[in-house]
């Protein structure tokens, strides 16, 4: 093996990934990756490396996928190792919390895994070519044969990372896109801000890297119909602020975030996860065009708005995901797009301008083209924030957004420039019914819990029985999680693979954002974002809330009296 | 065959009702209580009669505050009751740890307690009775084929390298290692490399017992005493959040445990290095030990996956079955 063969090998990549995984500091991780990128001889190898680090087997913009699931890989590994899936592999996976880590360890320790492999070096491009080859194979047997052929020439750590790359998701080394961009910036001595900007516009790590190498970052242009990453807000309780004078305040709509691109007689709407959702909202499409809007990118919210009132998110849900909605649906749940930011106008991207400047642009567009926009208010003290918050809640909105007037639009960032003020919709006393083994960083612990609500009435002499109402995987402290893991040992009724069925005993006060109707569940309702508020050692299963309580919360949410917009308005809806 | 039962469904202890012997039982119930080793999960709460354990186990228990009556029983020296003979064999887990061998008219039984084979370098070794075994009750904390320990020299080197590297860069290397057993293994490795150490106060007293029994643990002092500059620090995981440790601004943390084999522990514990040094037997050695002892019947206990180990033992032609279900708490 020559030094240069190793440099461009997948083994070098995998060992670098492991080194990054085994390093705690983010800046050190980025430096290790930068050093690795610099060691690679050319841009072709560097591009493959960043693809494998951040995008998977194929470049993100290729939209190509290896149609090979986790279960197939695990079965392929069991066949290779000659181990039983149900008896052996499942338990190994549960213990590690990661199928690929279990495979790595078995390849290293299990005698057959050792015997069947004689590692040799593969270049990054050979591995990339292998993925293309694998994607073209139709038959499952053939795929398994090819995987076995590859594995027989790899080391365990290479096998683990090859699997993670194939799954087209994070390598689980605590090194996400942000960090890869940092490494590229460091490797090519470019300003991080420029790298991030170029990456947002190219949507590709490989292209960003290529531009960085050639010093052509400035040439990257934005184009319409390619969504920009949304700027996000931090919750108020995570930031220490008492003086709000640098902020403006808007109501946080009870709707869905949306980015609208309007250009050349075309409209495209993108959801929070940057997927197109235009087809579900045809009236918005015609609305924008009828108002003569053009060459704009707007950030805002889709809400159900009727008779000068914002209607609950539950009703908007009836429109979400429905492509080509019927006229009846359109009439019953009419939606509006309320803009609160403007990201581009004409050929100019506005994201580097301050919020005050962008608001001026937006107001001009609103006046000229009768575009509905949110209204902002100034606040000084926490008391101002509180009184605004109460008004927002009376309108039926979720709470407030506080935004720094001098901030630029920090795409893809959750910083302290935008702050959200919310409070949980409610809480219920529930009982622990199932515990699910965690994966990733919660591997080896039961970390996800299904909570139950009482399904019969609180009568004397009647044993309570419970139906699931939600699954929570947060809100507890580390100590509470350890306590739960210890405690559930004694109350196991059943085992279903990584899931434990528990004797109802432990009462959990659950906090959530909202009660939603869900006909597919036994309870008929689900909770949005449920999380632990407290372990109620003081309560017994006889104190658990019942379905009537859930129903009451739901009805209260839906039918609560809403203040119309004209009282302390939160948006302007100009009529054409 | 000797009859036995679990003390209770999720507990540790095993009761031999006919012989009136309790192995690591919590409560005496008029039994002769034999204790395998000094970890808290094996030591009884209350005793009505003197407990029986190896001299080092008794001394460690006393150092940890045990106040009950005891009788020290040397390794390999039989203790006769009117119906049984009890003999202790070194278990290789920690100092004083013993496998308990019971012989009676009805046959014999070997209970491993926690054991490690090959043995921990700071223990009396791991040795088995030479007689054919009827009943073998073995712990399998790491009873999955993903667990195969690296050689002791490799792990010792990882410990020393971690300490040297960070001391050279002006950091305090912190080893998260359990106070009893693991801590002394780390010290043993660092002592050979002549690296000075600071020890958690509770561990300090236990180190003296190790020294009494002839294990050299190097140059060490108590955490409370003074500066940690230029020293490696050895503390249990729960002491990481304590004030005296938090105030060390430049620190690098290594987690030393069998559980450190799992990648998830990195994020769960916020550490700089994982050193998978266990004081339990691994899956492969366990299969080898059963192969070597060829017991008539094997029971697997103290394992999150007893079924799995039995599945492999049965495949190898042994009569094996799980005994209760446990999740490990204290040190591993």
Residue boundaries of the structural domains of chain A:
3-166, 232-422, 426-545
B251 part of contact set with chain A, CB < 8 Å: no
B132 part of contact set with chain A, CB < 8 Å: no
Strand, coil or helix: A456: coil
Residue B295 sits in a domain whose CATH number is 3.60.15.10
**Which residues in chain B touch residue A489, judged by CB atoms under 8 angstroms apart?**
10, 325-327
pLDDT at A248: 95
**Which residues in chain A touch residue B161, judged by CB atoms under 8 angstroms apart?**
none
pLDDT digits (tens, 9 = 90+) for A229-280: 899 998 887 777 878 889 999 999 989 999 999 999 999 999 988 889 999 9
Interface of A with B (CB under 8 A): 21-24, 83-84, 87-88, 91-92, 95-98, 101-102, 105-106, 108-110, 172, 174, 438, 440-445, 485-486, 489-490
Mutate to test the interface with A, among B145, B252, B311 (most CBs of A within 10 A): B145
pLDDT at B100: 98
| Nearest to A175, CA basis, from A15, A410, A8, A17 | A17
Residues of chain B below pLDDT 50: 326-332
Residues shown for chain B = 332
B70 part of contact set with chain A, CB < 8 Å: no
Q: Which CATH superfamily is domain A426-545 in?
A: Nucleic acid-binding proteins (2.40.50.140)
Does the residue B186 lie in any domain?
Answer: yes
pLDDT digits (tens, 9 = 90+) for A154-187: 999 999 999 999 987 679 888 988 899 999 999 9
Question: What is the enclosing helix (H) or strand (E) of A391?
Answer: helix A382-395
- Residues whose CB is less than 8 angstroms from the CB of residue A138 and which lie 6 or more positions away in sequence, other chains included: none
Does the residue B123 lie in any domain?
Answer: yes
DSSP letter at B310 equals H
Percentage of residues in chain A with pLDDT exceeding 70?
98
- Contact, A345 vs A353, CB < 8 A? no
Does the residue B330 lie in any domain?
Answer: no
pLDDT at B303: 84
Is A95–B146 a contact, with Cβ atoms under 8 angstroms apart? yes
Which of A96, A441, A486 lies at the smallest CB-CB distance from B267?
A: A441
Residue in chain A lying closest to B307 (CA): A87
Separation in Å, CA of A72 to nearest CA in chain B: 20
Separation in Å, CA of B194 to nearest CA in chain A: 27
Bridge pairing between strands A525-528 and B107-111: unpaired
Residue in chain A lying closest to B312 (CA): A88
Is B262–A489 a contact, with Cβ atoms under 8 angstroms apart? no
Residue in chain A lying closest to B144 (CA): A92
Residue in chain B lying closest to A488 (CA): B327
Distance, in Å, from the CA atom of A96 to the CA atom of A108, rounded to the nearest integer, reads 15
Query: Domain range spanning residue B247?
Result: 152-275
> Which of 3.40.190.10, 3.40.109.10, 3.90.1300.10, 3.30.470.30 would CATH assign to domain A232-422?
3.30.470.30
Structurally, how many domains does chain B consist of? 2
Is B270–A24 a contact, with Cβ atoms under 8 angstroms apart? yes
Does the residue B94 lie in any domain?
Answer: yes
Q: Which CATH superfamily is domain A3-166 in?
A: DNA ligase, ATP-dependent, N-terminal domain (1.10.3260.10)
pLDDT digits (tens, 9 = 90+) for B299-327: 999 888 888 999 999 999 999 999 865 44
pLDDT at B329: 40
pLDDT at B186: 98
| Nearest to A449, CA basis, from A474, A428, A467, A425 | A474
Separation in Å, CA of A490 to nearest CA in chain B: 7
> A-contacting residues of B 291-320, CB under 8 Å?
304-305, 307-308, 311
Q: Read out DSSP for B181-247?
A: THHHHHHHHHHHTT--EEE-HHHHHHHHHHHHTT----SEEETTTS--TT-EEEE-GGGTTSHHHHT
- pLDDT band for position A406 (cuts 50, 70, 90): very high
| Nearest to A411, CA basis, from A275, A229, A258 | A229
Mutate to test the interface with A, among B41, B255, B264 (most CBs of A within 10 A): B264
Is B264–A490 a contact, with Cβ atoms under 8 angstroms apart? no
pLDDT digits (tens, 9 = 90+) for A435-480: 998 876 677 789 999 999 998 776 656 778 899 999 998 889 888 9
Average pLDDT of span A430-436: 93
ipTM over 0.85? The verdict is: yes
pLDDT at A557: 81
Does the residue B95 lie in any domain?
Answer: yes
pLDDT at B9: 56
């Amino acid at each position: 093996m020559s030094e240069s063969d190793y440099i461009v090998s997948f083994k070098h990549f995998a060992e670098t990934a492991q080194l990054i995984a085994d390093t705690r500091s983010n800046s050190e991780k980025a430096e290790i990756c930068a050093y690795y990128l610099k060691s690679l001889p050319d841009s072709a190898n560097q591009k493959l490396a960043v693809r494998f680090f951040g995008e998977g087997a194929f470049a993100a913009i290729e939209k190509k996928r290896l149609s090979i699931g986790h279960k197939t890989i695990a079965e392929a590994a069991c066949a290779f190792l000659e181990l039983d899936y149900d008896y052996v592999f499942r338990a190994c996976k549960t213990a590690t919390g990661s199928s690929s880590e279990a495979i790595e360890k078995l390849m290293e320790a299990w005698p057959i895994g050792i015997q069947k492999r004689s590692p040799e070096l593969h270049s990054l491009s050979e591995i990339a070519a292998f993925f293309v080859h694998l994607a073209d194979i139709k038959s499952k047997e053939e795929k398994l044969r090819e995987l076995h052929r590859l594995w027989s020439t790899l080391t365990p750590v290479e096998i683990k990372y090859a699997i993670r790359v194939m799954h087209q998701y994070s390598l689980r080394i605590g090194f996400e896109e942000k960090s890869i961009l940092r490494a590229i910036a460091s490797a090519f001595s470019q300003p991080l801000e420029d790298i991030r900007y170029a990456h947002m516009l190219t949507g590709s790590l490989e292209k960003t890297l290529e531009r960085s190498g050639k010093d052509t970052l400035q040439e990257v242009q934005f184009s319409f119909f390619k969504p920009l990453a949304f700027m996000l807000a931090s919750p108020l309780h995570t930031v220490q602020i008492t003086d709000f004078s640098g902020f403006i305040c808007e109501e946080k709509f009870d709707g869905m975030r949306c980015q609208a691109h309007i250009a050349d007689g075309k409209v495209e709407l993108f959801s929070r996860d940057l997927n197109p959702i235009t087809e579900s909202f045809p009236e918005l499409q015609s609305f924008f065009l009828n108002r003569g809007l053009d060459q704009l990118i707007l950030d805002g919210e889709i809400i159900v708005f009727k008779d000068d009132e914002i209607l609950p998110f539950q009703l908007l849900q009836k429109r979400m995901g429905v492509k080509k909605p019927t006229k009846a649906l359109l009439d019953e749940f009419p939606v509006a797009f309320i803009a609160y930011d403007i990201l581009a106008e004409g050929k100019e991207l506005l994201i580097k301008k301050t919020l005050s400047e962008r608001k001026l642009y937006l107001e001009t567009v609103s006046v000229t083209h009768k575009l509905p926009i949110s209204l902002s208010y100034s606040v000084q003290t926490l008391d101002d924030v509180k009184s605004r918050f109460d008004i927002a809640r009376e309108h039926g909105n979720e709470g407030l957004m506080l935004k720094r007037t001098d901030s630029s639009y920090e795409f893809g960032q959750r910083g302290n420039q935008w702050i959200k003020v919310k409070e949980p919709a409610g809480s219920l006393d529930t009982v622990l019914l199932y515990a699910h083994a965690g994966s990733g960083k919660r591997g080896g612990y039961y970390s996800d819990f299904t909570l139950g609500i009482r399904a019969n009435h609180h009568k004397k002499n009647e044993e309570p029985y419970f139906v699931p109402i939600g699954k929570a995987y947060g809100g507890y402290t580390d100590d509470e999680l350890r306590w739960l893991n210890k405690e559930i040992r004694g109350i196991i009724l059943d085992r279903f693979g990584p899931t434990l069925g528990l004797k109802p005993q432990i009462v959990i006060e659950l906090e959530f954002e909202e009660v939603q109707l869900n006909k597919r569940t036994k309870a008929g309702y689900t909770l949005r974002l449920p999380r632990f508020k407290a372990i109620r050692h003081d309560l017994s299963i006889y104190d658990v809330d019942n379905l009537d309580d859930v129903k009451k919360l739901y009805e209260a949410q839906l039918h609560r009296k809403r203040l119309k917009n004209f009282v302390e308005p939160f948006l302007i809806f100009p009529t054409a | 065959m000797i009859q036995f039962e679990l003390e209770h469904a999720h507990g540790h202890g095993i009761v031999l009702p006919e012989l009136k012997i309790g192995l690591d039982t919590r409560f005496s119930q008029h039994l002769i209580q034999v204790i395998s080793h000094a970890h808290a999960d094996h030591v009884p709460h209350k005793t009505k009669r003197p407990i029986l354990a190896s001299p080092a186990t008794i001394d460690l228990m006393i150092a940890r505050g045990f106040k009950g009556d005891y009788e020290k029983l040397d390794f390999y020296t039989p203790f006769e009751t009117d119906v049984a003979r009890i003999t202790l064999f070194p278990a290789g887990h920690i100092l004083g740890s013993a496998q308990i061998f019971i012989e009676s008219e009805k046959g014999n039984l070997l209970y491993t307690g926690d054991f490690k084979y090959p043995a921990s370098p700071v223990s009396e070794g791991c040795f088995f009775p030479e007689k054919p075994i009827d009943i073998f009750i073995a712990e399998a904390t790491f009873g999955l084929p993903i667990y195969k320990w690296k050689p002791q020299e490799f792990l010792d080197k990882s410990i020393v390298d971690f300490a040297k590297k960070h001391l050279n860069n002006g950091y305090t290397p912190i080893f998260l290692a359990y106070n009893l057993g693991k801590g002394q293994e780390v010290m043993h490795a660092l002592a050979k490399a002549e690296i000075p150490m600071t020890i958690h106060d509770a561990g300090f007293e236990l180190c003296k017992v190790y020294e009494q029994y002839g294990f050299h643990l190097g140059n060490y002092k108590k955490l409370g005493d003074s500066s940690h500059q230029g020293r490696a620090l050895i503390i249990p995981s729960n002491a990481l959040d304590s004030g005296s440790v938090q105030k060390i601004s430049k620190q690098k943390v290594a987690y030393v445990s069998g559980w450190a084999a799992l990648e998830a522990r990195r994020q769960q514990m916020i550490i700089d290095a994982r050193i998978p040094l266990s004081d339990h037997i691994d899956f492969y050695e366990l299969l080898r030990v059963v192969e070597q002892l060829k017991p008539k019947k094997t029971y697997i206990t103290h394992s999150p996956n007893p079924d799995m180990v039995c599945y492999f033992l049965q495949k190898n032609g042994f009569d094996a079955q799980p005994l209760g279900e446990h999740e490990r708490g204290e040190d591993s």
